[in-house]
Chains A and B, each alone.
Chain A
Amino acid sequence: MGNALFHLEWIDYAIMIIYFMFVLGIGWVLKRYMKDANAFLEAGRSMPAWVAGLAFISTNLGALEVMGMAGSGAKYGMLTTHFYWIGAIPAMVFLAIFMMPFYYGSKARSVPEYLKLRFDEKTRGLNAILFAVMTVLASGISMYALALLMEKVLGWDFNLSLLLSAAIVLAYTYLGGLSSAIYNEVLQFFIIVIGLLPIVFLGLHEVGGWSGLKEGLAPIVSGKGFAADSFTTTWKYTDQATSNPLGVEWYGILFGLGFVLSFGYWCTNFLIVQRAMAAKSTTAARNTPLIGAIPKMLIPFLIIVPGIIALVLMNNPSSGFSITENGKPNYDLTIIMLLKHYLPTGVLGLGITALLASFMSGMAGNVSAFNTVWTYDIYQSYIRPATGDKEADSKHYLKVGRMATVFGVLVSIAAAYLAGLFGNIMDFLQTIFSMINAPLFAVIFLGMFWKRATGHGAFIGLLGGFLVALLHHGLTVPAGATTLVKGGWLGVLHTYPVEMAQNFWTAIYACAASAIIAVVVSLTTTQKKTDDELRGLVYSLTPKIKEDHVVWYMRTNTLAIFVLTMMVILSILFW
């Protein structure tokens, strides 16, 4: 207990306990609505658009993300907003307008199931198994990071923290399924906004507002060899990779991040798409990503701006602010140290609760996506198919879904301890994830917009894209890499200035290769699906959606225009 970073008082604990009582209480109340598999695993397709939209964005606002992005704010400045604007918004708009009608309208219960309906069983199987494995690993890693944080920050025992957080997550997902996970994501969204707002205000107060921040940054940034305003602008210094702190030029950002990486993530990751599939109508499902996009664009002011403030503070010895650990700056600590620097007892408890909440809802999100894919795409497809007795089947799959929840949490705990043994597992997993997602986007995109794409084409395209990604990763390294996890394990053909540039290009090659392979194989194999079977799954065979009955400001196209305009305005303001 002695060397914990924070000392919490009774009021801090009271806030934390009340919050988690509500979390468990929501699960408890929702339990009585969980009468069949559909209610438990798909939230009964009943969520209003704003609830699904906030959950949609909240799933991507886990504590690791918050801590990482605040750290990136300190490292790269406002260029980090590319991950929130160009690297998210176009993909979310595309998902809403073009892809959601097929995901939602096809009545598929998961992304793997869409692949089964559109292509074939083997494509679904490959995707389902990969997704299930990756999802529990991801949940284990966030559990590990959470326990580590609680040990360091609060002085709590590692094992106890791990098991306690796993127990809370298990309890509310077991009781209320996807609905419970979604409700808690919405709760987490509000608590994280309210928990971090005081830091933004106090931080801007200390550095003298936005103009004071710019003045404070100028000497620091010039010292790093960049233009004085390069940390408060987004596109201005992207004509060359070397003239901005991100180390990537504008076309790398536009195509790598803005196209391949973000479309691969936002449009095909079932963890995200599941939130929109839980919406109550086609219009609500399409509006989900667009409603989520509005707060998404504003999150940088809550997370990245404090990171930039931290950069100014850590270069000013009289501020008493530091993120140095064992002689080196640990950027992951940025947000934690800001909490410590600014928040007195009371709101401090709120800030810590917000972080814990976002860790747990991240795990719950993974577990609730895992149990759906496990139950429908693995268990129902390969172990025990439906018998035809709808009522009995639904009861049975509800039971299986619940058991999968328990199983998912147990495997996550095992994965958490595994993560403790291999320090690089987080990097490793993220690398593999981007290798799987980029080809998946290419294949789903072809599937939705080209009716000639075949099952064999999709399957071989997925595998081929993944192999090309592996090959590219094996032949290139980011400058200064010390482990083979970063690449170059086959030899080094090219060295990228930063790791991010390598990631971007891995994804670009994987996506392009996957698309080319899928097209070539599709053209040389026969289409086994008839036009009738493809209705509702392919653009050209699906009737256009009419929105006449929806009020004009809630129409998908209206919201899309609004969201894109807002992105353009923000980009110009911070050009």
Chain B
Amino acid sequence: MLDIRIPIGLLFTVLGILLSAYGIYTNANTELYSKSFQFNVNLWSGLGMLVFGVIMLLTVRKKKG
């Protein structure tokens, strides 16, 4: 059976990279982040997702190894 941590890990890694890249790209855009009090929520959410995705993938590898 497919280990669910693989799709979860992959999805959050991909979305995390995409969102943090977008966050870095738009970092200077003060108008975009006026809603979020100038917090770069894209970057922080993206990094959070990336870390979560990578941890998921690592737990799968550790078990197999």
| Interface residues of A, Cβ cutoff 8 Å to B | 11, 14-15, 18-19, 22, 25-26, 29-30, 33, 44, 46, 51, 179, 183, 186-187, 190, 194, 197-198, 201-202, 205-206, 341-347, 350
* B45: chain A residues within 8 A (beta carbon): 194, 197-198, 346-347, 350
| Interface residues of B, Cβ cutoff 8 Å to A | 1-2, 4, 7-8, 10-12, 14-15, 18-19, 22-23, 26, 32-33, 35-37, 39, 41-42, 44-45, 48-49, 52
* A205: chain B residues within 8 A (beta carbon): 37, 39
Q: In the bound complex, do residue A194 and residue B2 qualify as a contact, i.e. CB atoms below 8 Å apart?
A: no
Q: In the bound complex, do residue B37 and residue A194 qualify as a contact, i.e. CB atoms below 8 Å apart?
A: no
Q: A19-B11, A26-B2, A350-B45 are in contact. Are A202 and B18 (CB under 8 A)?
A: no
* A26: chain B residues within 8 A (beta carbon): 2, 7
Q: In the bound complex, do residue B35 and residue A18 qualify as a contact, i.e. CB atoms below 8 Å apart?
A: no
Q: How far is the CA of A83 from the CA of B35 in the complex (A)?
A: 32
Checking B1, B8, B18, B35 against A15 with a beta-carbon cut-off of 8 angstroms, the contacting residue is: B18
Q: In the bound complex, do residue A19 and residue B42 qualify as a contact, i.e. CB atoms below 8 Å apart?
A: no
4 new A-B contacts, CB < 8 A, other than A18-B18, A183-B7, A202-B39, are: A194-B52, A341-B35, A346-B26, A347-B41
Q: A29-B2, A194-B49 are in contact. Are A342 and B36 (CB under 8 A)?
A: yes
3 closest A-B pairs by beta carbon, nearest first, are A346-B42, A22-B11, A344-B32
Chain A nearest Cβ from B54, distance in angstroms: 14
Chain A nearest Cβ from B20, distance in angstroms: 10
Q: How far is the CA of A179 from the CA of B48 in the complex (A)?
A: 27
Checking B1, B10, B12, B32 against A190 with a beta-carbon cut-off of 8 angstroms, the contacting residue is: B12
Q: In the bound complex, do residue B41 and residue A202 qualify as a contact, i.e. CB atoms below 8 Å apart?
A: yes
Q: A22-B7, A198-B41, A344-B35 are in contact. Are A11 and B22 (CB under 8 A)?
A: yes
Q: A194-B48, A198-B41, A344-B35 are in contact. Are A186 and B8 (CB under 8 A)?
A: yes
Q: How far is the CA of A347 from the CA of B41 in the complex (A)?
A: 7
Q: In the bound complex, do residue B22 and residue A346 qualify as a contact, i.e. CB atoms below 8 Å apart?
A: yes
Q: A26-B7, A202-B39, A205-B37 are in contact. Are A346 and B23 (CB under 8 A)?
A: yes
- Nearest CB in chain A to that of B40: its residue: A344
* A197: chain B residues within 8 A (beta carbon): 45, 48
Q: How far is the CA of A342 from the CA of B36 in the complex (A)?
A: 5
* B42: chain A residues within 8 A (beta carbon): 344, 346-347
* B1: chain A residues within 8 A (beta carbon): 33, 44, 46, 179
Q: How far is the CA of A213 from the CA of B52 in the complex (A)?
A: 30
Chain A nearest Cβ from B17, distance in angstroms: 11
* B22: chain A residues within 8 A (beta carbon): 11, 346
Q: A11-B18, A19-B11, A202-B36 are in contact. Are A344 and B4 (CB under 8 A)?
A: no
Q: In the bound complex, do residue A18 and residue B7 qualify as a contact, i.e. CB atoms below 8 Å apart?
A: no
A-B contact pairs, 17 of them (CB 8 A): A22-B11, A26-B7, A33-B1, A183-B2, A194-B45, A198-B41, A198-B45, A202-B39, A205-B37, A205-B39, A206-B37, A344-B42, A346-B23, A346-B45, A347-B42, A350-B19, A350-B45
* A190: chain B residues within 8 A (beta carbon): 8, 12, 52
Q: In the bound complex, do residue B41 and residue A30 qualify as a contact, i.e. CB atoms below 8 Å apart?
A: no
- Nearest CB in chain B to that of A179: its residue: B1
Chain A nearest Cβ from B50, distance in angstroms: 11
Q: A15-B15, A18-B14 are in contact. Are A344 and B8 (CB under 8 A)?
A: no
Chain B nearest Cβ from A171, distance in angstroms: 16
Q: How far is the CA of A197 from the CA of B44 in the complex (A)?
A: 11
* B2: chain A residues within 8 A (beta carbon): 26, 29-30, 33, 183
* B10: chain A residues within 8 A (beta carbon): 22
* B4: chain A residues within 8 A (beta carbon): 51, 183, 186
